[in-house]
Structure 1
Amino acid sequence: MPLLWPASADAAVSVENAALSEPTDELSLSVQAGEKVPQDTVIVTMFYETQAKNASSLGDLLNLHAAEALRIAKGVANVSVHSGEFTESPATGRDGRITVWRGRTEVMLESSDFAATSKLAARMSGTMQIGSVTFSVSPQARNAAGEELATRAIASFRKQAQANAQAFGYGGYVVRKVSVNTGAGDGGRQFAELSSAGGNDAGPVGLQAGTETVTVQVSGSVRMMH
């Protein structure tokens, strides 16, 4: 059910008559409309961490696991796969000498097909671990919701402008200036350090998306007319 509410308890309506330079028949309004939109995109971060005695051996291990993960993902439909962060860092002892090299490599899975992403993450779990899962609303879904909400918010702005103009004894109004802005409320949900049983026979990883609140705010001023 779409949500529609004014920006404040009093519909953010005020008559600007404090400054003599401003016309006394000008009315400022701000209306906000919001709607919960299902998160339709998931990003799964797969990672592998290890250590070695030298940087060369460490790089070989990290590249080996990243290449295997990308090989498993090759040809999987509806899932975008790309490399993520790749880090190597030395650890030193009390004498300041390097004792070991530690590193991490990541592969990112992104898709609107949750089932395909879940199965692929499970298949890759023998090579990499699941580091995090992030859900979001795709730009296409966000834009579609924003366009619909803008229509409703503008209609509410016009309705409030007419009602308030009449309440002040005027017959109507003309718009002086107006702005329409789209935003987001609740952000994507992120689950860190998720895991599944390793091995090629690991079952699908459970992915459960939520919703985000997309908002549109219409604000501006009108000149009340007799």
Structure 2
Amino acid sequence: MSIRLWPCIALSTALASPLATFPALAAAPQNSDTQQTIEFSANASQAAPNDLGVATLYAESNGKNAAALSKEINQRIGKALDLARGFASVKAQSGGVSTWPVYTKNGQGRIDSWRMRSEIRIESQDLGALSELIGKLQSDLALSGVAMQPSPETRRKIVDEATVSAIQAFDQRAALIAKTLGKRYRIVNMSIGDSGFHPPMKVRMQAAPAMMADSAYAPAPLEGGESELAVNISGRIELLD
């Protein structure tokens, strides 16, 4: 009988050792499975002054001779750029240029003439100077539109301020959630992004041909207003005992 017992005892001992490790091996995934996380978002918005005016004006004409037409349009744009250089606080640059053929209407598809359009873009935080320049440029150019928006410096400043507010809002909401559930918390991850701004629609200002000579040098009325800048935060917190 004793001879038969020894193998059984040895077998029992051999089995006991690996079985004893099973709870330890299961411990790590068990903690991972019981981890409690919550995802949510928060945002903050702030008004930004539209302290930058941007205007687009253009010269457009048609003619039988493409080279002569190009010379005429380029001279008008060059004259406009020279005039803009006299306003130190205004930044000016040439814009898009396009030329296209005008076909005859008799169905033969022949080119009857050419049409050309060239733009100039001006911008400034000095709205008084910008308004005066727009008025003078309209003696020879047509005004496509004026838009008011925050300058890059103003936008960065307001976005930074809104970011601080959004982070505080996220943290406050995280604390509220954890407190309601009787837990502590830690932030696992956070994603921050701004939604940009939505400037007012471009204001189109056109004068009738008969009135152009009288109104050409009249300053264009400009009012900055405000744009709304928003910062959005999405993230995840882990609830702790």
Fold shared, TM-score > 0.5 on shorter chain:
yes
- Structure 1 unaligned spans of 5+: 1-20
Q: C-alpha offsets along residues 91-136 of structure 1, whole Å, 9 cap, x if unaligned?
A: 1112222111111111111111111011011111111121111222
**Distance in 1 between the 2:50 and 2:215 partners?**
29
Partner of residue 46 from structure 2, selected from 35, 57, 70: 35
Alignment of 1:64 with 2:79, yes or no, is: no
Q: Does 1:219 align with 2:234?
A: yes
Judge conservation of contact 1:132–1:192 (CA < 8 Å) in 2: yes
In 1: Cα distance, 2:46 partner to 2:216 partner: 41
Q: How does 1:15-164 map to 2 (within 5 A)?
A: 23-93=34-104, 94=106, 95-164=108-177
Q: Give the deviation of 1:29 after TM superposition.
A: 2.0
Partner SS state of residue 191, structure 1: coil
| Aligned: 1:210 with 2:225 | yes
User: Structure 2 unaligned runs (5+)?
Assistant: 1-31
Distance verdict in 2 for CA 1:76–1:33, change over 3 Å: same
Could you tell me whether the CA contact under 8 Å between 2:103 and 2:111 is conserved in 1? Answer: yes
CA RMSD of aligned residues (A): 2.0
Q: 1:176 is matched with which residue: 170, 188, 201?
A: 188
CA change 1:160–1:88 in 2 (3 A) is: same
CA distance in 2 between counterparts of 1:192 and 1:150 reads 34
Q: Matches of 1:179 and 1:218 in 2, distance apart? A: 6
Give the match's secondary structure for 1:96.
coil
Matched position secondary structure for 1:224:
strand
**8 A contact 2:185–2:237 mirrored in 1:** yes
Counterpart in the other structure of 1:14:
none
State the SS of the aligned residue for 1:127: coil
Q: TM-score, with normalisation over the residues of structure 1? A: 0.83
More helix by share: 2
Q: How far off is 1:69 after superposition? A: 1.0
Q: Which runs of 4+ in 1 moved over 6 A?
A: none
Residue 84 of structure 1 and its aligned partner are, at CA, apart by 1.1
Compare CA radii of gyration and give the structure with the larger one: 2
- Once the two structures are TM-superposed, the CA of residue 188 in structure 1 deviates from its matched residue by 4.2
Q: How many residues align?
A: 205
Give CA deviations for 1:46-88 in whole Å, capped at 9, x if unaligned: 1111111110111111012111111211231110011111221
Q: How many angstroms apart in 2 are the aligned matches of 1:146 and 1:71?
A: 36
In 2, distance between residues paired with 1:73 and 1:153?
42
Bigger fraction of residues in strand: 1
